[in-house]
Amino acid sequence: MSDQTLSDQTLSDQPTPRQVRLTINGKSYERQVEPRLNLADLLRHELRLTGTHVGCEHGVCGACSVIVDGVPARACLMLAVQADGAVVETVEGLAAADGSLHPLQAAFREHHGLQCGFCTSGMLMTLKALLQDSPDADEAAVRDAISGNICRCTGYQGIVDAALDAAAQMRGKA
């Protein structure tokens, strides 16, 4: 096979970029992406939404947790093309437009629910999804929800206290 034929074949083997449209934190985005690009890399590298962190890259640590169509999802395990048409929430959308913190964010600060902060965006999004579905979540439910989110710093107690406090505050406002 000639070099020319080889390079033609290599070029033709390149996956065709696909168009994706999605809504993230209320804003519409449209991009051409490689079919193999995962949602975490789309968020971080293409859209510069770097609040979503990437740790293990294989679905174990939970650092990349976001909410897709109301359901918590591992952004490292989801292809960007699978999110076509979806409504995605990331940590950047938690605070209000005026900068005031979401009750979960405020409670994390109050209860020392973070140290290095690497796991925090994933924790917050996992807990936001929990409290959306289960405003009355108790300690067992909180611990169960974050059982797929690994924190190497806090010992978890501050995170659990923060989640329960935020839940109580959100119920009070509701």
Binding site for ligand FES (CB under 6 A): 54-57, 59-64, 74, 76, 114-120, 151-154
Closest approach of Cβ 79 to ligand FES, in Å?
13
Closest approach of Cβ 117 to ligand FES, in Å?
5
Closest approach of Cβ 95 to ligand FES, in Å?
19
Cβ contact 108:149 at 8 Å: no
140-157: burial string, b at 16+ Cβ within 10 Å, e else: ebbeebbeebbbeebebe
Q: Which H or E run contains 65?
A: strand 65-68
Tell me which residue of 161, 64, 159, 160 sits closest to 121, measured CA to CA: 64
